[in-house]
Amino acid sequence: MSRTAEEIGRTELGPRPLPPLGEHRAATDLSYVDTVLDNGLRVVVVKQSTVPMVEVRLRVPFAGDAPLHAATAEVLAATVLTGTAKRDRVGVDTELALVGGELAASVDPEVLAVGGNALASGLDTLLEVLADALTGAVHSDDEVAGERARLIERITIAESQPAMIARKALQKHRYGDHPITREMPEAEDVAQVQAEDVRALHRAAVLPRGSVLVLVGDVEPATAVAAATAALAGWSSDKAAVALPPLPDLTPGELKLVDRPGAVQSQFRLSAQSIVRTDPRYPALQLANLAFGGFFSSRLVENIREDKGYTYHARSYFEFTPDGATLMVETDTASDVTAGALLEIRYELGKLGVTPPTETEVETVREYAIGSLLIATSSQGGLASQIAALAMLGLGVDYLLGQPDRLKAVTAEQVAEVAREFFAPSRFTGVIVGDAATLGPVRALGGVTFP
Amino acid sequence: MTVSELHRYTLANGLRVVLAPDTTSPVVGVSVHYDVGFRSEPEGRTGFAHLFEHLMFQGSESLEKLAHFRHVQSSGGTFNGSTHPDYTDYFEVLPSAALERALFLEADRMRAPKITEENLKNQIDVVKEEIRLNVLNRPYGGFPWITLPPVLYKTFPNAHNGYGGFEDLEQASVADCAAFFDTYYSPANAVLTVAGDFTVDSARELVDKHFGDVPERPRPQRPSFAEPAPDSEIRADIQDKLAPVPAVAIGYRIPDPVDDMDGYITFLVLAGVLADGDGSRLQQRMVYRDQLVTDVSAGCGMFGPFEARDPDTFTVTAMYSPEVSVDTVLATLDSELEVLAATPPSAQELAKVTARWAASLHKEHDRLVSRTLALGSFELLFGDPGLVYELPARISAVTPEAVSAAAKALRPDSRAVLTVTPAGGAE
C-alpha cells in the first residue's frame, strides 16, 4: 500500500513547465514630507495607511571618545525612558500602553536610537512621552543604580554568546581600539558610571541638530510634522549632535584564529573595504554581493550548505558607517569541516572575479533585489527602519524610490568589474573563532594566524 | 482592525483554501500548513518532522534541487518553512506578479516531492549544523522550548526534543520519508492560504489549475496528545557550561484553546498583566523593587500563543542573579499570583493589555508574511481564520475576575520548574 520515494516523486503527466510571471504592478506613490525644524532636527513623515498604527524612529548621532563614553551611553539608553519630572517609569509605561504604544532606546558607537509605535490615534501621546524623555529625563540615582546592575548582568550573558565573541574579536582585529569597536561596553566600565555622568552626557549629547525623526503610518504628513514640531519645540541647542568621524580603511591580512576551547562550531567573520551607497558602482556591487552570498540562491550558500552540508547559515552583506562601508562574509561550521569551509569560501571569493555572475545570475539577483525591497517596505515598521537608516547616511525617500531603476540599469559587465575588484580574496581580513585544538587542518591551509 | 475579506472553500481532494485579498501593496503571500508537527513523530525518530521540512525544499517532479529557492528569489520573493508542535508551514512572499509561480511550486511538492538518499544525507548534515548553532554551541541553548517540556510532560509526544537527537537524525531513511509523506502530507491534511494583492476569481482559477489534480489521499486520524497535569511541583536542573548566570522556566498547563478559546485568552491577558511593560506586576516587583531578576517574561505557548492544540503551556522565565535562590524567585512569583487571585486587576491594567494586544495584532497584520501564516494556522488549528480578526474584541472582553481566577489556577503544586545552573568554564 505504501509507495516508495521514487513512486512518490513521479506522476503520469511528468514534469510541468514553470508558469511565467504575470503583470508587475508598481507600488503606489508614497506621500511624504522631509523637512528640517528650527531646532535642526530633520523630520521625515511618510503616509502608509495599511493599518491604523504609526511607527517612530529617532536617530541621534552619538559618538564620543571619552574612555567611559560607551559605558555611560549604554546606561543613558537604559534610563532615558525611566522617568522625568512629569512621569515616573510606571507613568511612562502606562501612558504608552493605553495608546497601544511602546518605546525603547538603544545605543551603538554611532547612534542613540529610540524607536517604537502606537495606535495612530495615539501619535500625540507617543510624541509627548518621547519629547518629555529627550528634554526632561532625570536619570535618577535609583534608576541608574538599578539599570547599571542589570546591564552588567546582561553584558555577562551576551559575552557568553559565540556570535558576540566573534563580533568583538572581528572589531578588535579590524579597528584596534577605535571607538567603533565599543559596541558593547566592558562590565567594569559600566560599574563606574555615576548618575551625574549620565545626566551630563544627556545634556551635552542628546541634541536635535543633526538628528533625524522618522514617522511612518496612518498619519497625514503635514499634520504629523506639525504635531512633532509642537511636541519637540522645547528640545533645542546651538550645538549639533556628534557624528562618528570616518573610519580608517581596512588593511587586508591573515585571518586571526581566536581560541574558544571546547567549542563544537567555528564562527567565520571575514571583511573587506567597500563603497558607500551613493557611489555609482554601488548598485552593481549590491548585485555582485547577492550573487556571492547575499541570499539563499547564492554561490556561497549553494556550495557550503546545499552541496557540502557544512553549515546551516552563511551570508555576505554590507555594513554602512557614516562615511564608508565594509563587506562582510560570515558562516558557522562544525569544527571538523572548518578547514573545508575556509577552502570553499576562498574558492568562491576568487571565482566571483574569475568566473563572474552570468546574465542569468544577474537577472535573478536583480529581480530579488527589487522584489525584496518591495516586500521589506510594504510594512510600516520595515519602511520606517529603511528610511531611518538611509536618513543617517544623508539620503531620503527619493533614494529609496529610485533604487529599482538604478538596479535595472546595471549591466552584467559592471557586475563582473566590481566582483573582480571588491571580492578579490587578497582584500579580506577577519577572524575565525573556534577550538584551536581541533583546527589543525586549518593551520595547514595557511593564511590564518594561530594564537 | 483592518479586516481582509475572507473566502474559504475546499477542493475535491480535501485541500482547504483560505483567500484574503488586500490590494494595498503589490505583494502576495502564499502558505501551506500541513497538520503534522513534532508531536507526531515516532519514538526513535526525534527531529524527523523538522528534517522532513528541510527535504520538502530539495526538489520535486518539476523542480531540480535548488530550483525552488531560485524560482522564488528570481521572482523577487522570499520563502521559508518552520516546524511546530502540531503543524509544519511553508510560505513564500512575492511581488504579486509571481502568484502563479508560488502556487505552482507549492503544488508540485505537495504532489510529487523528490526524496533522495543524497539530499537526505545533505540535509541531515545541515540540520545538525542548525542544532549546533542554536543549541549546542551557545549558552541556554533550547531554553526553554526543548528543556522545559520533558519536565512538565510525561508522554513522548509532548516531552521529547523536537529538534531531535543526532543519533535519531542519522537513522532517518528514505523509506521513513516516503511513509511520512504518504501519511501526513495528503491534501486533505493541509491548508493553502493566499493573502495580498489578487482578485478572488483569478486566484480560485489558479488554485484549481495547480492543486486540483493533486491526488486525494485519506486524512490521517489525529491522535489525542492529552495527558493529565502534574499533581505536584516537579523540578529539574540543567548544568550549562556556557551559561554565566542562572535562569529558571516555570511551566503550567492552560485550557485547551480548541475547546475553550476564551479560557485560553484569559491566560494571555494574565501574561500581559504579569510581565508586559515596565508597569506590569512581575517587572515592578522582581526586576525593579526586589531586584531579584534581570529579565522576566510570561506567555502562552513555547513559541507564542495560538501555535498548538492541547496540551499547551503557560511559561514564566527569568534570568536571575547568582546570589538569589530560585526559591526566592518562586516565592515572589507565588505571592504576586496570590495577590492577583485575591484582588482582581484594575480596569486600567486590563485596558493597557487590551490596547497593546490590539496594536500588536495590527502590526502582525501589516507584515504580509505573518498575516498569511496566522490565517493559515487559525484555519488549521481552530477551523476559523476569521478568529484572527476577532481577537482584539475577545481580548477586551476578558473580565478582571476571570484574570484573577486564572492567576489562582497557576498553582505551585501543579507545575514544572526547570533551572539552568552555570557549570563553570564560561570565563
Residues of A in contact with B77 (CB under 8 A): 368, 371-372, 375
Q: Is residue A223 part of a domain?
A: yes
Q: Is residue A11 part of a domain?
A: no
Q: Check whether residue A214 and residue A278 sit in a common domain.
A: no
CB contact under 8 A, A309 and B348: no
Q: Is residue A297 part of a domain?
A: yes
In this prediction, residue B425 has a pLDDT band, given cuts at 50, 70 and 90, of: low
CB contact under 8 A, A297 and B70: yes
Which stretches of B6-54 are assigned E, i.e. beta strand?
A: 7-10, 16-21, 27-34
Q: Check whether residue A70 and residue A174 sit in a common domain.
A: yes
Q: How far is CA A451 from CA A82, A257, B86, in A?
A: 44, 7, 48
pLDDT at A441 over 60: yes
What is the side-by-side order of every strand in the sheet holding A311-321?
A311-321, A324-334, A265-273, A429-434, A255-259, A448-449
Q: What percent of chain A has pLDDT over 90?
A: 92
Distance CA B164, CA B148 (A): 15
The candidate with the shortest Cα–Cα distance to A357, out of A321, A302, A317, A411, is: A411
CA atoms within 13 A on the CB side of B41: 29
Which comes out higher in pLDDT, residue B25 or A209?
Answer: A209
**DSSP state string for A379-409:** SHHHHHHHHHHHHHTT--HHHHHHHHHHHHT
Q: Check whether residue A409 and residue A260 sit in a common domain.
A: yes
- Determine the pLDDT at residue A24: 76
CB contact under 8 A, A51 and B365: yes
Interface test with A, best of B99, B123, B132 (most A CBs within 10 A): B132
Q: Check whether residue A433 and residue A364 sit in a common domain.
A: yes
Residues of A in contact with B125 (CB under 8 A): 308-310
Distance CA A422, CA B108 (A): 39
Residues 6+ apart with CB under 8 A from B184: B34, B35, B36, B40, B220
Scan residues 59-98 of B and list those with Cβ closer than 8 Å to A. Answer: 60-62, 65-66, 69-71, 73-79, 93-98
Q: Is residue A21 part of a domain?
A: no
Q: Check whether residue A282 and residue A390 sit in a common domain.
A: yes
Q: Kindly state the DSSP code that residue B41 receives in the 8-state scheme.
A: S
Runs of H (alpha helix) within B14-98:
48-55, 67-74
How many Cβ pairs within 8 Å bridge chains A and B? 270
CB contact under 8 A, B73 and A367: yes
Average pLDDT over residues A412-440: 97
Domains present along chain B, CATH in parentheses: 7-211 (3.30.830.10), 233-344+399-422 (3.30.830.10)
Following CA atoms A315, A320, A324, A325 in sequence, which dihedral angle do they give, to the nearest 10 degrees? 0
Nearest CA in chain A to B97: A22
Distance CA A139, CA A201 (A): 11
pLDDT digits (tens, 9 = 90+) for A175-216: 999 999 999 999 999 999 999 999 999 999 999 999 999 999
Q: Check whether residue A365 and residue A440 sit in a common domain.
A: yes
Q: Kindly state the DSSP code that residue A12 receives in the 8-state scheme.
A: S
pLDDT digits (tens, 9 = 90+) for A135-151: 999 999 999 999 999 99
Q: Check whether residue A383 and residue A263 sit in a common domain.
A: yes
Distance CA A432, CA A335 (A): 11
Q: Is residue A17 part of a domain?
A: no
- Determine the pLDDT at residue B3: 61
* Lowest mean per-residue pLDDT among A319-323, B96-100, B180-184, B384-388: A319-323
- Determine the pLDDT at residue B427: 41
The structure's pTM equals: 0.92
Q: Is residue A218 part of a domain?
A: yes
Q: Check whether residue A173 and residue A273 sit in a common domain.
A: no
Structural domain of A333 = 255-449
Give this complex's ipTM: 0.90
Run of H or E including B266: helix B261-275
| Cβ atoms < 10 Å from Cβ of A170 | 24
Q: What CATH number does residue A426 fall under?
A: 3.30.830.10
Residues of A in contact with B104 (CB under 8 A): 16, 18-19
pLDDT digits (tens, 9 = 90+) for B124-144: 999 999 999 899 988 999 999
Contact between residue A25 and residue B26 where contact means Cβ atoms under 8 Å apart = yes
What single letter denotes the amino acid at residue B404? S
pLDDT mean across residues, chain A = 95
Distance CA B28, CA B202 (A): 13
The candidate with the shortest Cα–Cα distance to A120, out of A380, A375, A378, is: A380
Q: Is residue A15 part of a domain?
A: no
B125 closest CB neighbour out of A53, A96, A309: A309
Q: Check whether residue A191 and residue A130 sit in a common domain.
A: yes
The candidate with the shortest Cα–Cα distance to A37, out of A312, A180, A234, is: A234
Average pLDDT over residues B391-397: 94
Q: Check whether residue A225 and residue A277 sit in a common domain.
A: no
Residues 6+ apart with CB under 8 A from A196: none
Q: Check whether residue A77 and residue A113 sit in a common domain.
A: yes
Q: Which of A182, A199, A231 is the last residue of a domain?
A: A231
The candidate with the shortest Cα–Cα distance to B291, out of A200, A146, A17, is: A146
Interface test with A, best of B137, B209, B346, B427 (most A CBs within 10 A): B137
Average pLDDT over residues B336-346: 98
The candidate with the shortest Cα–Cα distance to A215, out of A95, A92, A48, is: A48
pLDDT digits (tens, 9 = 90+) for B184-241: 999 999 999 999 999 999 999 999 999 999 999 999 999 999 999 999 999 999 999 9
Distance CA B378, CA B261 (A): 12
Average pLDDT over residues A279-291: 97
Looking at the structure of chain A, the number of domains it has is 2
Q: Check whether residue A132 and residue A274 sit in a common domain.
A: no
Long-range CB pairs of B323-332 (<8 Å, 24+ gap) are B324/B292, B324/B293, B326/B246, B326/B248, B326/B417, B326/B419, B328/B292, B329/B248, B329/B286, B329/B292, B329/B293, B330/B248, B330/B250, B330/B412, B330/B417, B332/B285, B332/B286, B332/B290, B332/B292
Q: Is residue A202 part of a domain?
A: yes
In this prediction, residue B426 has a pLDDT band, given cuts at 50, 70 and 90, of: very low
pLDDT at B381 over 70: yes
pLDDT digits (tens, 9 = 90+) for A161-175: 999 999 999 999 999
* Sole residue written with cell 475546499: B10
